[in-house]
């Protein structure tokens, strides 16, 4: 019972933290999109939300593996909260320059890059292996439900209050999450490592990268992820510009997009929690990515707004099928002492791929139809996801 309570408290604490973070994320993205309608400005925003993590992610993985996980998460949460509070105060005094938002995005990115590997590496420590996929499915379900409720909440709040009030909400949720970590949640410490032991950072980072490279399962998923995430940049960030340019710049259109996307994710989370996928986890994983590509092709042909929104539901559904599977595969196949570093390598690839993709798609979207760019990216997603099935020895590694 105590263990279930501990897991429940941990999920709740991270969900509370997620609430504030997502509110701020939507507020910033919509503010930039609707005030500038510029692909170039969106590119700068993407760079500020990904590139900083490129430099700190390798160290974050080492911290997650070698330091007190609870302290790492608390430090990251409080750092983000302090700087978010600062920007809220600046906005209250009507200091609203766009560069301030880009600066705070950099700080938040650094904090989240430290926070995420620690969170991911906690689950195998507090959850029994047989229940990892179920817990990941529940966690994904909460995130999916958040993607329905929070965009509506963000749209409502932005329509009745200045953006800085959303920043204050994020500060409050961060404080609540930290309080829960301190008072209610127990995370076992590693028996074989002392906190005051000197860490050889570059040696640890090198070992983590070598480990990922030598594991065929991990290496191939990372390679696939690098290419796929470059293509994902188009629908992930150009869709807001696409909606504003094709259907209209009313904020409710962006809210509805996120609600349908979140609805698809919520249903997908429910399905994967009950079904758990095919016997071979990799088959489920890559079939889901083929369907994500097909949905993206639909997004690239914006015939009607509600049909377009329906394709976002499809994309969300299959993302929710694949995401818990990826986390579970890593947690099942990777030794605990390398988990943080392996998750940070995945985060690193994500941080590299999205900016590269956006550096191509973002500026192009000011001269080339954004819908055409999204269509091309969808075709590419389907192609590379299908090619993976030609590597039969690799696919066999996905059997439980």
Lowest-confidence segment of 12-16, 142-146, 223-227, 237-241 by average pLDDT: 142-146
235-265 pLDDT, tens digit each: 877 887 788 788 877 767 877 887 888 888 8
- Chain mean pLDDT for the chain: 81
Mean pLDDT, rounded, for 171-199: 74
- How much is the pLDDT for 190? 56
Report whether pLDDT(191) > 50.
no
pLDDT band at 291 (very low <50, low <70, confident <90, very high): very high
Mean pLDDT, rounded, for 37-46: 76
Nearest of 142, 76, 140 to residue 113 by alpha carbon:
76
Report whether pLDDT(2) > 50.
no
- How much is the pLDDT for 1? 43
- How much is the pLDDT for 199? 58
% the chain with pLDDT above 70: 92
Q: Output DSSP code: residue 390.
A: G
What the block records as the tokens of 254 is: 């962006």
Rounded distance, CA 337 to CA 211, Å?
11
Alpha helices in the chain (DSSP H): 2-36, 39-66, 69-92, 98-126, 132-160, 164-183, 201-214, 216-246, 251-275, 281-299, 305-333, 339-364, 370-387, 392-396
- How much is the pLDDT for 42? 74
- How much is the pLDDT for 11? 86
Torsion, CA 270, CA 321, CA 46, CA 30, rounded to 10? -30
Residue by residue, DSSP assigns 23-45 as HHHHHHHHHHHHHH--HHHHHHH
* Residue-range domain boundaries for the chain: 2-185+200-396
**Which has more confidence, 322 or 300?**
300
Mean pLDDT, rounded, for 132-153: 74
CA 37 to chain centre: 24
Report whether pLDDT(230) > 80.
yes
**Which has more confidence, 314 or 98?**
314
Report whether pLDDT(386) > 60.
yes
Superfamily covering domain 2-185+200-396: MFS general substrate transporter like domains (1.20.1250.20)
399 phi and psi angles, rounded to 5 deg? -70, 135
**Which has more confidence, 174 or 254?**
174
- How much is the pLDDT for 398? 67
**Which has more confidence, 236 or 39?**
236
CB 22, CB 145: distance < 8 Å: no
pLDDT band at 16 (very low <50, low <70, confident <90, very high): confident
Element (H, E) at 369: none
| Most confidently modeled range among 64-78, 106-120, 370-384 | 370-384
């Amino acid at each position: 019972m105590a263990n279930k309570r501990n897991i429940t408290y941990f999920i709740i604490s991270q969900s509370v933290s997620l609430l504030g973070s997502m509110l701020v994320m939507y507020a910033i993205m919509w503010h930039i999109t609707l005030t500038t309608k510029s692909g170039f400005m969106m590119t700068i925003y993407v760079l500020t939300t990904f590139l900083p993590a490129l430099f700190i992610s390798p160290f974050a993985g080492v911290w997650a593996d070698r330091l007190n996980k609870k302290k790492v998460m608390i430090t990251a949460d409080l750092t983000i909260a302090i700087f978010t509070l600062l920007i809220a105060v600046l906005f209250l005094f009507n200091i609203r320059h766009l560069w301030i938002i880009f600066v705070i995005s950099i700080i938040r990115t650094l904090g989240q890059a430290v926070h995420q590997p620690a969170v991911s590496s906690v689950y195998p420590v507090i959850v029994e292996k047989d229940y990892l996929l179920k817990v990941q499915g529940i966690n994904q379900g909460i995130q999916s439900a958040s993607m329905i409720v929070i965009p509506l909440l963000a749209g409502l709040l932005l329509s009745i209050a200045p953006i800085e009030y959303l920043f204050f909400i994020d500060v409050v949720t961060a404080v609540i999450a930290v309080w829960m970590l301190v008072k209610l949640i127990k995370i076992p410490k590693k028996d074989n490592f002392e906190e005051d032991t000197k860490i050889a950072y570059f040696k640890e980072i090198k070992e983590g990268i070598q480990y990922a490279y030598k594991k065929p399962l991990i290496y191939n998923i990372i390679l696939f992820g690098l290419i796929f995430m470059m293509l994902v940049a188009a629908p992930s960030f150009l869709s807001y510009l696409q909606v504003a340019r094709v259907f209209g710049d009313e904020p409710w259109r962006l809210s509805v997009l996120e609600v349908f996307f979140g609805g698809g994710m919520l249903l997908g989370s429910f399905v994967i929690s009950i079904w758990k996928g095919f016997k071979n986890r990799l088959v489920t994983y890559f079939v889901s990515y083929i369907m994500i590509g097909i949905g993206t092709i639909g997004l690239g042909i914006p015939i009607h707004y509600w049909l377009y929104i329906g394709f976002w539901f499809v994309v969300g559904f299959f993302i929710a099928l694949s995401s818990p599977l990826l986390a579970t595969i890593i947690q099942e196949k990777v030794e605990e002492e390398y988990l943080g570093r392996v998750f940070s390598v995945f985060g690193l690839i994500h941080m590299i791929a999205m900016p590269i993709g956006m550096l191509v798609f973002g500026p192009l979207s000011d001269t080339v139809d954004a819908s055409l760019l999204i269509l091309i990216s969808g075709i590419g997603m389907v192609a590379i996801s299908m090619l993976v099935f030609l590597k039969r020895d690799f696919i066999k590694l996905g059997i439980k």
